[in-house]
Amino acid sequence: MHWSYLTLAGILVLAGLLVAGVTIGIMAVSILRPPRMSDGKALWVLRRMSPGDVGLQFETVWFQVRDERSGSKISIAGWWIPCANAEGRCVILLHGYADAKVGAIAWAPLWHELGFNIVAIDLRAHGESQGTYSTGGYWERHDVSQVINEIRAQRPADTQKLVLFGVSLGAAVAVATAALRDDLSAVVLDSPYNDFCDAAMAQMDRLGAPGRPFQIAALWLAGKLGHADFAQVRLLDLLSNARAPVLAILPEKDPLTVGEVRQRIENAVGERASHGSADQTWVVPDCDHLLALACKPDEYREQLGRFLLQTVDARAQRASV
């Protein structure tokens, strides 16, 4: 009888470990492979499928980038949205996690109004772009850097003054890309978080995923499967390497930057500004993640327009003297 109980206990322990392992594996793959924003989903959730639905003319473009890890080619889907009075100003819109370029074009009418050509792209493993895994910006920064090279080679007169605009995951990709380059006019981050792992765990908590030990193990496994070191794309570590001026738009009620995280981002941007850069932060009161434009449309336009006037246009004026 004694050995029977021990055998049963051993079987239960092994079964528990198997279930835990399968759960962690499923969570890891889910982190790396967010559900894609299909046309049908975009029409149902966003009520739009293209820039034409927000009154903007566009053309579909494709970029062929080299995967920095495997060396294979990845096709990145995009839209080119021209502006007649851009005078060489161009912005690249980078969407959030599990979203796509169709989500990012919520900000396109404002950028178009401010006089910018627009490139909206699907990050790898999102939308229509190729790629198996989304890696929190680790590999995406190299993709976007190559997109910049391609679009500048194709349209040099239209991309002389280039800005990166990213929301949430897109903000992480934007600042990580900016840390690789010295030819950007400005970087605008809407609803940025500091650490992909912290943001992912906060989101998993909201979705009712298994507790912290499972989440930590899943993120570790996701990093191994995706050959990505999420710690290397932390916002606060990369800001010091970004050579373009930065505007950080921080919703006050953003669950991904609760407590001291938002204050640390404010302090980091303020530290850059204290050394003579044009960096700015705007904390948006009573506003949640990604909703600053919807909550404060007039003030959003004013804040963004003033920052661009002090950076992109000011640099252009100095260069022409």
Domain spans of the chain?
Answer: 1-32+203-228, 35-194+234-320
Instruction: Write the single-letter amino acid at 168.
Output: S
Instruction: Could you please state the CATH topology (level 3) that the domain comprising 35-194+234-320 is classified under.
Output: Rossmann fold (3.40.50)
Alpha-carbon distances of 300 from 65, 214, 246, rounded to whole Å: 33, 39, 15
Contacts 24+ apart (CB under 8 A), 312-320: 312/89, 312/161, 312/163, 312/185, 312/186, 314/278, 315/161, 315/185, 316/88, 316/160, 316/161
Q: Which residue positions in the chain have pLDDT lower than 50?
A: 321
CA distance 320 to 312: 13
Number of CB atoms found within 10 A of residue 32's CB: 20
pLDDT of residue 1: 52
**Two structure tokens written together for 314:** 């000011």
Condensed to tens digits (0 to 9), the pLDDT of residues 274-288 reads 888 899 999 999 999
Phi and psi torsions of 235, nearest 5°: -55, -50
Alpha-carbon distances of 194 from 110, 266, 275, rounded to whole Å: 26, 11, 22
pLDDT of residue 321: 43
pLDDT of residue 198: 95
